Structure 1
């Protein structure tokens, strides 16, 4: 029998309590700021001193590494997804239909052509999975940490370090680090108001150093409530973060991190080019007008849906998502004998929730022409990481181990909708639909992952550094189908079984040469592998093998190969006081690409995921931050990417000539600019982003146009010398404007996959101009 959602949540709560119970009492002042390992870049480069610039270009790193500090994250409207802030980095492209980047269905990050399901993500070294909407081995960054508590985010555009705990990082990694508690007792309270009835409250309380051993902690809470910018519905979230830091001796520390989050979201209507041309960009789901959705399911349309090529597909009552997560991690870090740095982390994570979709394609047994399809994902996972770094003078040898166990539940139900005049579906976020009349399928997936790595950083001379290492990765997933109904699966039994992705030697070689003071060259070569993604039957947007029926799964299970990549990059860095600049070139060979295709006779084709060839990527990026005057900086970046398919594709419908076609969803050209001014209590910045056209189809016969949007932010701070208001140390007023020129543009593309030819309902419109105001008080 599958685990219930309540049982899973109780188990996660117990896990977090056990981790908290293991935390000792103390912490010394010498380690209060964290050990040196907390501030090291993954391959041995140090965090540069200028961490309050727009970008830190990874001075001394052997790979391309860029970073965003908490100050830059704080320039965005409070509560903004940290991944959205990373969009200003070269080669990074973030998509979202809302200004915060909080609507998870639409949030998608691309780096150098790779989608976020092909990247690696961690928080304080804890893996966050692949950031897909129905994540099977992690959780979204917005649910893992409140953005106000992010200390910094490091981005490896080319490839993550061999040490990163991820089974999905084919082409880059994002590593976030939480802020430590402050040494001084106090707190911060802020209130944000804005467009769409936005109301966000954030409160953080810091204990300060409590005793001679240096114990300190913080607790924080945020509540966000905002309406959709079009249609009806809301985005509601509550979240708690807490962190305890306990020094151990003079060189060690224990850090306990805790996160609880709960979200309730309403979907925006996914659109197609046909819908956009016939109904306009403001068409949305019917909620709360149940009568209109009911009649539309009967073929009686009220918004001219009959003019489209698929009226039912633009006639939904609502789509909703509700999630609850608990994440906890305990890290011990110590320096032994001034030469050995040992760091270990244990973590646990529990997730429960459901998503609904009121579908006019499946009628209810009572005669209602629509029903509610409910998908119930759940996650229970535990893991441990341990690594040691030995300093031998010119050599630093580092090795580590990561193990994780995940049990993921996936189930799909259909529940009855009321007859017209006998009630409505109401707000489906308020209650799980009751008394399902059918269960299409139910899975339990068990995944075990083991990764070991070793690397050596050799400082050949004072100006030349070489890094070489490799990781060995094995991840095995076994599925068990505990329920299914072929009548709701197209007459099919769903696929079930085990798949293993493994490679004993995934190497990485890199170098850094400082050929002149403040001038560097770097180069990196790495080989990477992605584990097989997990999801249920008929959920093909993630190209999971388990989306196939039983016959197709059995046909592919012995021949399917995991996706792999070879990444080559090289570049030049300039780090001076007036100018920080970066120029890089890269080449990627992406192999064993997985894609959902149909094979067999056209009158009865079989759909499955198969390896369909490779992708070749070539690109160049240039960025520079220029300090024009004291307190005035000007940032610009340009990136060009050409990612093309290596092979054509043959399906039951014939051959598709994909060879040489561009990969959809990622722009070929991007330009980003930002002008920042800081004078005394005044701060202001204006940002601009240009994105070229993107293809919607694999054959490149459908596309969306490019766009340029601008954003503005300003802040004014009153200090204690002006306030004279007792405990208040600082009051801050902040204004943010998003999409300043009110540009209508297509934001997210491919959220439900991409068609081979033409387009279907697979993109979302970006939000219009939005304003947000915030008042913050430090005490």
Structure 2
């Protein structure tokens, strides 16, 4: 259950200190009045502490407000100050879906994004569902995880979990209005009912509207959001929490740069899609209005807590997410339109028990059924006509794909023995990949996906894939030892799971089917070459806390097998495909620290020195040629990162400068595309006119640095086909908020 705790002045002060030093410590750390160094708020929790000795960073309300920026919509943005973490986007407000995140060198393809521990979102499509004002805490697991954490289709990179802010006990209203550079504007309102005397019901209703122009090229981004939360006690033993959210997003995408354009970044800094039509059909596919996306999302999740006894609970957590989206993008000389209709339903049933001998037991079962994509079931091609409109040019993809099904029982046991905590568990993962059947598209008319089956399209025998189960056992174990009042030590191990990326494999085959068939290659043979990635993660940490000083050094090691990589095969005439043949080793050190100098100054920072390299050259399907990847750093993985800042408070004024340094990276696996390092400074300031009214000012990229932010490659792309995005220029925004 979620916290409905009202913040006090002391809690806010502690929050401001610790939320700006996220990740200081391990999950067993003590619970603080409103924000924890590494744990959840105590109110409403089945257990009042989290004794798992696996590393976790938690960002509380103050940190979400500071690091989430004026838009307060991006799930990723608050994590940019965490060690070993890079949040990349060309959008200064985080509204655009052109973005990615990298954790300890690994890309966001294998990040589990959960809400209240539930994998609410799908694999593709959709947008950020929740306003950060409705989030109590953001939890990030960079290393090992316990069996009951990180439920989802893929968690080899890490886990991000949002704990929602429950309806409050007292009636209240929160309103915000923000404006900023590039015609940014945002309005947010939340109304809490308080506890209703007649029924004991607590509820809240919120709504927001956000919009911004792109800072270069043409187009804009808009987002509308509404959320309802209800909390109800049923008798003495049952507590029900229900959240429902509606989110509508549409926005024009940013155009990427090539590596050649990077060599003169100043000249190409504002390179983007065309803002006018030229009459040349091949050029006009790059008109900005032909490169956009829109999504409409409905989601609901519930937590039904049945109290079996004072120390034993049974939890049922059903959830549902529906996404209806469409994306337009330039594809060669045509505009490709991709319809994305996701329909996901799932549930978690979990037992939680605490016993008098210091034992805690969690046992549960997670199930989810997911309607694709990926891979795409229906994509259509259009050419730009003389009037600037789109003329139908055929189907690019037509397929019937069954539902994906995920099934995962798990158990986690924790034992307290004096000053020692030992925790271990096991999760069984069963990923049911569906049957996929592709159809020949020549001559099919311009009708909807539902209507096309009335025209009896012909099954493509070379592009049929049988259903298959991918299964894995995922153990974990961790130990935490209290050494003294200031020192402790922790060590943990867990195996994590990365799903095979069947989508690009199928799409790549369909786009080049004639060439593959000429070489005697079927889609089934390519899909058989991908299997789940398994990542063995080890962490050792020795935190020190004494008074206002906190220092946390962490050593980590990861051995990754079955890494899926894209290779270009000379034996197949240069055709590319995906194979689960790579192995990598990642290791490094993270150093986090914070110093509280009374109520006026807080200083915080982190540093990461890390490496992840391929263990061997990468073999191709033909078995003869290899790609020279041995010993090379994986793409988009800087070896050095430094982050930090301080907060100064004087009466009702606060000032927080922030800095982050990201070392050089590569855009490809053979290290031919080197991208230089960068440093970016941000400035945040706020002034409280009263307890209820506050003004905040944010200046992002204070010194207007030109740099490459997002490298849109993944850690399994070996062919150097990488997209680069320039970081946003200086951006200024102001937010006024009032709370009653």
Report what 2:100 is aligned to. 108
User: Using a 3 Å threshold, how does the CA distance of structure 1 residues 278 and 398 change in structure 2: closer, same or farther?
Assistant: closer
Report what 1:158 is aligned to. 143
Report what 1:90 is aligned to. 83
Q: Cα deviations across residues 93-115 of structure 1 (Å, max 9, x unaligned)?
A: 2111111222112x211111221
User: Using a 3 Å threshold, how does the CA distance of structure 1 residues 509 and 755 change in structure 2: closer, same or farther?
Assistant: closer
User: Using a 3 Å threshold, how does the CA distance of structure 1 residues 114 and 47 change in structure 2: closer, same or farther?
Assistant: farther
C-alpha separation between the residues in 2 aligned to 1:47 and 1:246? 28
Name the TM-score, length of structure 2 as normaliser: 0.86
Q: Cα deviations across residues 536-558 of structure 1 (Å, max 9, x unaligned)?
A: 666569xxx9x998934322445
User: Which residue of the other structure, out of 273, 277, 282, is the alignment partner of 1:290?
Assistant: 277
Report the CA distance between 1:389 and its aligned residue: 1.4
- Tell me which moved more, 153-162 or 193-202: 153-162
Report what 2:291 is aligned to. 319
Report what 1:570 is aligned to. 540
Report what 2:639 is aligned to. 668
Whether the aligned pair in 1 keeps the contact of 2:4 and 2:168 (CA below 8 Å) is no
Whether the aligned pair in 1 keeps the contact of 2:350 and 2:363 (CA below 8 Å) is yes
Whether the aligned pair in 2 keeps the contact of 1:31 and 1:252 (CA below 8 Å) is no
SS at match of 1:376: strand
Report what 2:702 is aligned to. 740
Report what 1:711 is aligned to. 682
Q: Cα deviations across residues 456-491 of structure 1 (Å, max 9, x unaligned)?
A: 100011x10000111011011113335443799xx9
- 1:19-418 aligned within 5 A: 45=28, 48-49=31-32, 52=35, 61-76=52-67, 77-80=69-72, 81-105=74-98, 107-128=99-120, 134-135=124-125, 139-140=126-127, 142=128, 144-164=129-149, 165-250=151-236, 252-277=238-263, 280-291=267-278, 294=281, 296=283, 318-359=290-331, 361-362=332-333, 371-393=334-356, 394-409=358-373, 410-418=376-384
Report the CA distance between 1:610 and its aligned residue: 1.1
C-alpha separation between the residues in 1 aligned to 2:78 and 2:85? 10
User: Using a 3 Å threshold, how does the CA distance of structure 1 residues 708 and 51 change in structure 2: closer, same or farther?
Assistant: farther
Report the CA distance between 1:296 and its aligned residue: 3.5
Report the CA distance between 1:510 and its aligned residue: 0.2
C-alpha separation between the residues in 2 aligned to 1:515 and 1:241? 46
The reply to whether residue 775 of structure 1 matches residue 736 of structure 2 is yes
Report what 1:307 is aligned to. none
Report the CA distance between 1:54 and its aligned residue: 8.2
C-alpha separation between the residues in 1 aligned to 2:270 and 2:237? 59
Report what 1:464 is aligned to. 420
C-alpha separation between the residues in 1 aligned to 2:594 and 2:137? 18
Structure 1 outlier segments of 4+, above 6 Å = 41-44, 53-59, 314-317, 547-550
Report what 1:24 is aligned to. none
C-alpha separation between the residues in 2 aligned to 1:372 and 1:381? 29
Whether the aligned pair in 2 keeps the contact of 1:486 and 1:492 (CA below 8 Å) is no
SS at match of 1:700: coil
Whether the aligned pair in 2 keeps the contact of 1:439 and 1:484 (CA below 8 Å) is no
C-alpha separation between the residues in 2 aligned to 1:418 and 1:674? 50
SS at match of 1:398: strand
User: Using a 3 Å threshold, how does the CA distance of structure 1 residues 434 and 213 change in structure 2: closer, same or farther?
Assistant: farther
Report what 2:45 is aligned to. none
SS at match of 2:62: helix
C-alpha separation between the residues in 2 aligned to 1:511 and 1:752? 33
User: Which residue of the other structure, out of 489, 500, 506, is the alignment partner of 2:474?
Assistant: 506
Report the CA distance between 1:53 and its aligned residue: 7.5
User: Using a 3 Å threshold, how does the CA distance of structure 1 residues 664 and 495 change in structure 2: closer, same or farther?
Assistant: farther
Q: Cα deviations across residues 618-676 of structure 1 (Å, max 9, x unaligned)?
A: 11001011002324210010111110001102346943221100011021110000201
Q: Cα deviations across residues 576-628 of structure 1 (Å, max 9, x unaligned)?
A: 3311221110111000111122447343x554321222000111001011002
Report the CA distance between 1:178 and its aligned residue: 0.7
Name the TM-score, length of structure 1 as normaliser: 0.82
C-alpha separation between the residues in 1 aligned to 2:547 and 2:33? 9
Report the CA distance between 1:439 and its aligned residue: 4.0
User: Which residue of the other structure, out of 499, 512, 524, is the alignment partner of 2:492?
Assistant: 524
C-alpha separation between the residues in 2 aligned to 1:636 and 1:711? 14
User: Which residue of the other structure, out of 623, 626, 633, is the alignment partner of 2:595?
Assistant: 626
The reply to whether residue 702 of structure 1 matches residue 693 of structure 2 is no
User: Using a 3 Å threshold, how does the CA distance of structure 1 residues 770 and 487 change in structure 2: closer, same or farther?
Assistant: farther
User: Using a 3 Å threshold, how does the CA distance of structure 1 residues 98 and 719 change in structure 2: closer, same or farther?
Assistant: same
The reply to whether residue 731 of structure 1 matches residue 677 of structure 2 is no
Report what 1:586 is aligned to. 556
SS at match of 1:601: helix
User: Using a 3 Å threshold, how does the CA distance of structure 1 residues 693 and 600 change in structure 2: closer, same or farther?
Assistant: closer
Unaligned ranges ≥5, structure 1: 1-26, 35-40, 298-311, 363-370, 426-432, 721-729
User: Using a 3 Å threshold, how does the CA distance of structure 1 residues 514 and 754 change in structure 2: closer, same or farther?
Assistant: closer
Unaligned ranges ≥5, structure 2: 7-22, 41-48, 445-459
C-alpha separation between the residues in 1 aligned to 2:414 and 2:39? 21
Report the CA distance between 1:705 and its aligned residue: 0.4
C-alpha separation between the residues in 2 aligned to 1:580 and 1:540? 50
C-alpha separation between the residues in 1 aligned to 2:283 and 2:391? 24
Q: Cα deviations across residues 132-179 of structure 1 (Å, max 9, x unaligned)?
A: 6x35xxx54x2x211221110111110232113112111321111110
User: Which residue of the other structure, out of 662, 676, 679, is the alignment partner of 1:691?
Assistant: 662
User: Using a 3 Å threshold, how does the CA distance of structure 1 residues 295 and 568 change in structure 2: closer, same or farther?
Assistant: closer
User: Using a 3 Å threshold, how does the CA distance of structure 1 residues 514 and 772 change in structure 2: closer, same or farther?
Assistant: same
